[in-house]
Every structure is written in C-alpha cells, then in structure tokens.
Chains A and B, each alone.
Chain A
Amino acid sequence: MPTHDPQLLKGVLSLLLLRLLAEQESYGYQLVQRLRQAGIADIAEGTVYPALARLEREDRVTARLVPSRSGPARKYYKPSVSGYEALRRGSRAWRDLAGTVATLLDAPYPADPAPPQEES
C-alpha cells in the first residue's frame, strides 16, 4: 500500500475526520481503524487524537461518553451544525483544488525546462 506524504495528509485530515463522523459516530481509535481501512495505512494515532481535540475546540464536533466493557468509557464524536457546514465547504474547496492540481500535474512537460524569457 502506498505511503502518503504526512504534510499532504495534515492539510486534509480534519476534513476526512468530519466525513467519517458524518457517516458514523466514532471514538478516536475507531477513526484510526476506519482511516486505515480506507487506504491511509500509515496514519498515526498521535496525529488523529489531537486533530479530534482541535475539531472539538472549534465546536465542529460534539462528544459524549459511552461506557465500554473492555476498559474506560469511550468518547464518541459526531459533527455539529458548524461541522457539517465546514465539511460542505471543505469538500467543495478540496474538489476545486484537486481538479486544478490534477490538470497541472497531468499536463506534459519537456525533458529539459525551457530557458527564461528575456524581459523586453
């Protein structure tokens, strides 16, 4: 499975978390598992947990504690009203950016870059 540039992932992680939470209320480790199942195999727990904390701080998600049989109560998250709005805006912005980047990257380029044009 290909590894992903952590810097690329950092910019879009909050959006991915909101998207997954819009589908199903989840706790931290469960989100890590779902991201890995989606193809982001090298995502670290240490990246996801603070990102969730940031979303909660920004009031984009709400949380509740659910008792667990295997250990401490788990904190389940779901998007708030502003979280859904951020997901809509972010998804649109990402699609626009991805389209522009794909167009630029897919365009053919020569073996050697063209020399700079002299300013007239």
Chain B
Amino acid sequence: MVHPLAAADRWRIRRTVRSFNNMIKDLPGARRRDICRELHANLTASADDVGADEAIRRLGSLRHLAAEYLDVEFGSAPRPSWVGGLRWAMVLQYTSLVVLLAGTLSFGAGLEAGDPAPGTYRWAPFGGWIGDYREVFDHGGYGGFTLNVNRLLVTHAVLFLIVYVAGGRLWRLLPIRRRRNS
C-alpha cells in the first residue's frame, strides 16, 4: 500500500531525524551526516509503505538506536564526548576564577589589616602563571591595583585544552584508537 506523504508527514520525519542527529553528536561530522541521510531515506520509504506515524513508531526508541550506532563506532569502551570535555573545561575555568578572586581579595584584605608602608605589594603564585596582582599603597593609603593577565591567559588556554581533551576522552577519536576499539 502506498501512502502519499503530506507536508506534515515530511516535517515529522525531518523532526525525528533532527532529534536523532542531536543524540549522535559525538560521532564525527561526516559519519553523522551519512547516518542521518540514510535514516531519512529509510523512514521516507517506510512512511510510503505504512504511513509516517507508523513508520516513526516502528523505528522504536531513538535513544536506543543512537546508542547502537555509537556502539558500532566506538565499541563498548568509554566514549569520547565533546560536551563532556567542554563541561570539565568550564568547571576548571570557573574554579580557577574563584581561586584567583579569593586569592586577590585575601591578599588585599591581609595587606590592609597590616597597615602597610607605602610601596607596591605583589601576589604572583607560581611565578605569575596563575595571576600577577599588585596593590599600591602611598602616603594617603590605598592607591589602586593592577592585574597582569598575559601569563594568566596562556595558563588558562593550556589548562583548558588539556582538561577538554582529558575530560572528553577525545584521544579516542584518533583513527588508530577507533580501529583498536572496534
């Protein structure tokens, strides 16, 4: 039996494929597009046969289908995850900013409590690679602060990259690792 597809049917099929596409985002782009294109073609053929609603129902759980495709690509070993890597990297960023803020505030509070002599006072842990913060005191009291971020930015960029790759297990995307795991 042929079921001519209405615009609403085609839209429902496209929406199903889009939802599925979001569930396999950890697959390499070209492979993901190939799988989604194939699913679209198969769903359309099935819908021609039994109608769009039944075709989508017969597909079963999209999550289960996505898990099966991810299993084919990455095997049963822990999978790489772009989103997971980003999550860990953002945690690192927020934590380091909180530590930097706490450090500078504590340093400043400690200085002021000690009634410092006029001069420039510097807090630069790890040679300034975590932060290079200076407070100036003159005869009138507190004279302002400076924060040198050049080295800090380099440190953050390097740590971000390391945590992103480690947290997302992105080394598993290397072709030789994927072949070993298959």
Name A's B-contacting residues (CB within 8 A).
Answer: 27-30, 32-33, 44-47, 49-50, 53-54, 57-58, 68, 70-75
A selection of 28 A-B contacts at a CB cut-off of 8 Å is A27-B45, A28-B41, A28-B42, A29-B45, A29-B49, A44-B58, A45-B46, A45-B58, A45-B59, A46-B59, A46-B64, A46-B68, A49-B65, A50-B65, A50-B68, A50-B69, A50-B72, A53-B35, A53-B69, A57-B72, A58-B182, A68-B44, A68-B45, A70-B44, A71-B48, A72-B37, A72-B44, A73-B37
Chain B interface mostly: helix
| CB proximity to A under 8 Å, residues B39-77 | 39-46, 48-49, 58-61, 64-65, 68-69, 71-73
Nearest CB to that of B179 among chain A residues? A57
Alpha-carbon distance A70/B52, docked complex (angstroms): 14
Q: With A50-B69, A70-B48 given, is the CB distance from A45 to B42 under 8 Å? A: yes
Contact residue among A44, A54, A68 (Cβ-Cβ distance under 8 Å from B60) = A44
Nearest CB to that of B56 among chain A residues? A45
Report the interface size class on chain B: 20 to 34
Q: With A27-B41, A30-B45, A53-B35 given, is the CB distance from A46 to B72 under 8 Å? A: no
Chain A interface mostly: helix
Alpha-carbon distance A47/B69, docked complex (angstroms): 10
Whether A46 lies near B61 (C-beta < 8 A) is yes
List the B side residues contacting A44 at CB < 8 Å. 58-60
How many whole Å from B173's CB to the nearest CB in chain A? 15
List the B side residues contacting A70 at CB < 8 Å. 44-45, 48
